């Protein structure tokens, strides 16, 4: 049940709890480590509790990232992890499991010495998330770790369980006094306590509000770190650097010069072993509501005054609030959805979605969605943003393409050039991270014939690497108390506000099957129709 006070408008950015970020001067006093944070800053000591530690996320992302952070001296000496799950593991068994995960996924090779030093901080508590005695054992373990490894009462609680357990865990932490409500202006009694929550935050606006409300009953917004791992990607952060640290682009970043934008998040993978989750989620909930609207807000927001927590998040929320949710009756004109059928990926035959494990043979869950959104503000009036994401596309690629307008007059017609392609700026998020600019150049020779050429910046070539895994950046930020790259409550709820009408309209349609697209293609025909109707075409990245 959603508490009555939550049914109403989206919370305003002026809500007190959202703005308890301290003044810069004050923050230096309470958290000196944040000042001048660089690649080599070390996080303060803390104990990290991972709920759902036996899951995929821990073995593929969390543990390898923590190991890499430890090996690059980003974690304090006493840093400790207490894993919690239902499995009946001892500390030793837990360590062995984690070693296998780290060996398979970490960047730093595992040697016996390195592993021994890391593993000495790994502990395990077994139990059900609704079992009171588990929280007692956890509390005792935390006290022990604080004493023996000098973690100073600093605690990071990470919810890596299926979302259905979130509220139970949060309530139990509160009831058993394992977390206390803190804000920046009151010195904590023991150490700092923070809650890290994985997406999805709800599966619609009402359930997102319910979860946010449950969290707000136990901790303050400044203690909540909602992970959207796209924000941890170097290239996503670089999109902000590109816009706001260069004088060249921002003046043309508006309706006077931009024709439209295309945001593509394509994956060649299918649903893998996540069928049960994906059946409930689908592409809109899994990718568009979170990662893609984050990308949109970063490329469309106004410049924040400073690059810090609420200043950046205020701007992101402002632009999301200007997005016009596709109106119910016309959702069909603003969206295209589809489901992959059997096909070929990299030369291999792959099954269709309905034939995958844990998927209903009559499933109507979308594995592809394209959506046209308009932003109703001064900067972006009449500039469409086309978003598309899908599984089993020809390749894995995430990019933001900014298509500029045509030149107003072409003076080279007499010389044989009757048309030039408009400028296109592409921010390539992954893979081959980089930025490229398409422009017209003269073909060498005695005539004035023009051709489209590209100017490329490649992360790898310029910096020698494309950067650390997104989770490394986000985990360290959470330990350092920096919320800039985490989604705030109003951000998540505003995103649902955009998506809810689409989900409702689709549900009302009661279809028995979705348009199919062959695995290894760029989505259903309707996706092309969506953009071609406006006289534009999708890029083939
Ligand atoms: C996750 C989605 O949030 O992001 C997955 O749940 C998706 O379905 C993944 O595969 C994509 O992340 P990345 O970093 O591989 O682009």
What pLDDT score was predicted for residue 184?
67
Where do the domains of the chain lie? 47-227, 233-406+487-532
pTM for this model (two decimals): 0.91
Ligand 1 in contact with 279 (CB < 6 A)?
no
Ligand 1 in contact with 286 (CB < 6 A)?
yes
| Overall average pLDDT of the 337-352 stretch | 96
Ligand 1 in contact with 500 (CB < 6 A)?
no
What pLDDT score was predicted for residue 187?
65
Q: Which residue has the higher pLDDT, 20 or 500?
A: 500
Q: How confident is the model at residue 448 (pLDDT cuts 50, 70, 90)?
A: confident
CA of 390 to the centre of ligand 1 (A): 11
Mention the CATH class of domain 47-227. Answer: alpha beta
Q: What does pLDDT average to over the chain?
A: 90
Q: Which residue has the higher pLDDT, 433 or 293?
A: 293
Catalytic residue among 229, 260, 291, 497: 291
d(CA 536, CA 511): 28
Q: How confident is the model at residue 301 (pLDDT cuts 50, 70, 90)?
A: very high
Q: How confident is the model at residue 34 (pLDDT cuts 50, 70, 90)?
A: very low
pLDDT digits (tens, 9 = 90+) for 347-374: 899 999 999 999 999 999 999 999 999 9
- Minimal CA–CA distance to 373: which of 413, 412, 345, 333? 333
Q: Strand 258-266 vs strand 384-390: parallel, antiparallel, or unpaired?
A: parallel
Q: Is the pLDDT of residue 228 over 60?
A: yes
Atom of ligand 1 nearest to the CA of 281: 6
Percent of the chain at pLDDT > 70 equals 91
Q: Is the pLDDT of residue 418 over 90?
A: no
Active site residue 291: yes
Contact 340, 270 (CB under 8 A): yes
Q: Is the pLDDT of residue 188 over 80?
A: no
| Overall average pLDDT of the 52-66 stretch | 95
d(CA 483, CA 20): 12
pLDDT digits (tens, 9 = 90+) for 287-297: 999 999 999 99
Tell me the fold of 233-406+487-532: Dihydrodipicolinate Reductase; domain 2 (3.30.360)
pLDDT digits (tens, 9 = 90+) for 244-285: 999 999 999 999 999 999 999 999 999 998 999 999 999 999
CA of 535 to the centre of ligand 1 (A): 31
Q: How confident is the model at residue 417 (pLDDT cuts 50, 70, 90)?
A: confident
Atom of ligand 1 nearest to the CA of 233: 14
What pLDDT score was predicted for residue 31?
41
Q: How confident is the model at residue 40 (pLDDT cuts 50, 70, 90)?
A: low
Q: Which segment of 172-176, 225-229, 306-310, 526-530 scores lowest on mean pLDDT?
A: 306-310
Q: Is the pLDDT of residue 89 over 60?
A: yes
What pLDDT score was predicted for residue 185?
67
Close Cβ partners of 155 (under 8 Å, ≥ 6 residues apart): 46, 47, 48, 49, 142, 178, 179, 191, 192, 193, 194
What pLDDT score was predicted for residue 2?
42
Phi–psi pair at 209, nearest 5 degrees: -65, -40
What pLDDT score was predicted for residue 413?
81
d(CA 139, CA 259): 57
Ligand 1 in contact with 267 (CB < 6 A)?
yes
- Minimal CA–CA distance to 325: which of 371, 263, 388? 371
Q: Strand 424-430 vs strand 397-404: parallel, antiparallel, or unpaired?
A: antiparallel
């Amino acid at each position: 049940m959603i508490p009555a006070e939550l049914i109403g408008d989206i919370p305003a950015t002026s809500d007190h709890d959202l703005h308890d970020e301290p003044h810069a001067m004050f923050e230096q006093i309470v958290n000196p480590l944040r000042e001048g944070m660089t690649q080599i800053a070390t996080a303060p000591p803390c104990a990290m509790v991972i709920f759902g530690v036996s899951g995929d996320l821990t073995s593929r992302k969390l543990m390898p990232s923590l190991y890499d952070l430890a090996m690059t001296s980003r974690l304090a000496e006493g840093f400790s992890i207490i894993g919690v799950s239902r499995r009946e593991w001892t500390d030793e068994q837990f360590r062995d499991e984690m070693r296998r995960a780290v060996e398979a996924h970490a960047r730093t090779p595992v040697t016996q010495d390195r592993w021994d030093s890391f593993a000495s901080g790994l502990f395990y508590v077994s139990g059900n998330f609704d079992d009171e005695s588990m929280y007692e054992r956890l509390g005792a373990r935390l006290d022990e770790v604080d004493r023996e490894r000098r973690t100073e009462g600093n605690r990071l609680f990470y919810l890596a369980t299926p979302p259905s357990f979130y509220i139970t865990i949060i309530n139990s932490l509160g009831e058993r006094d394992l977390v206390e409500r803190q804000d920046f202006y009151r010195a904590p009694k023991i150490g700092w306590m923070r809650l890290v929550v994985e997406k999805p935050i709800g599966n619609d606006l009402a359930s997102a509000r319910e979860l946010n409300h449950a969290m707000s009953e136990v901790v303050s917004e400044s203690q909540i770190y909602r992970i959207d791992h796209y924000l941890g990607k170097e290239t996503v952060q670089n999109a902000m650097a590109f816009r706001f640290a260069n004088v060249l682009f921002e003046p043309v970043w508006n309706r006077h010069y931009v024709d439209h934008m295309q945001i593509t998040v394509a994956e060649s993978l299918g649903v893998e072993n996540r069928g049960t989750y994906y059946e409930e989620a689908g592409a809109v909930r899994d990718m568009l509501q979170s990662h893609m609207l984050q990308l949109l807000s970063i490329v469309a927001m106004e410049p924040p005054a400073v690059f810090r927590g609420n200043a950046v998040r205020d701007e992101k929320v402002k632009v999301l609030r200007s997005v016009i949710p596709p109106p119910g009756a016309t959702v069909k004109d603003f969206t295209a959805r589809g489901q992959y059928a059997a096909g070929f990926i990299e030369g291999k035959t792959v099954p269709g979605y309905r034939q995958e494990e844990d998927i209903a043979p009559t499933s109507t869950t979308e594995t592809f969605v394209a959506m046209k959104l308009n932003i109703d503000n001064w900067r972006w009036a009449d500039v469409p943003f086309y978003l598309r994401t899908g599984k089993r596309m020809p390749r894995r690629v995430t990019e933001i393409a900014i298509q500029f307008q045509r030149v107003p007059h072409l003076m080279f017609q007499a010389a044989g050039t009757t048309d030039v392609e408009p400028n296109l700026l592409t921010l390539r998020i992954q893979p081959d991270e980089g930025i490229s600019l398409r422009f017209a150049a003269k073909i060498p020779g005695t005539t004035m014939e023009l051709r489209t050429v590209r100017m490329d910046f490649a992360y790898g070539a310029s910096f020698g690497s494309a950067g650390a895994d997104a989770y490394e950046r986000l985990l360290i930020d959470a330990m350092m108390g920096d919320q800039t790259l985490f989604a705030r409550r109003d951000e998540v709820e505003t995103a649902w506000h955009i998506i809810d009408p689409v989900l409702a309209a689709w549900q009302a349609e009661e279809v028995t099957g979705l348009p199919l697209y062959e695995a290894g293609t760029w989505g259903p025909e309707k996706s092309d129709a969506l953009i071609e109707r406006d006289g534009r075409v999708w890029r083939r990245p």
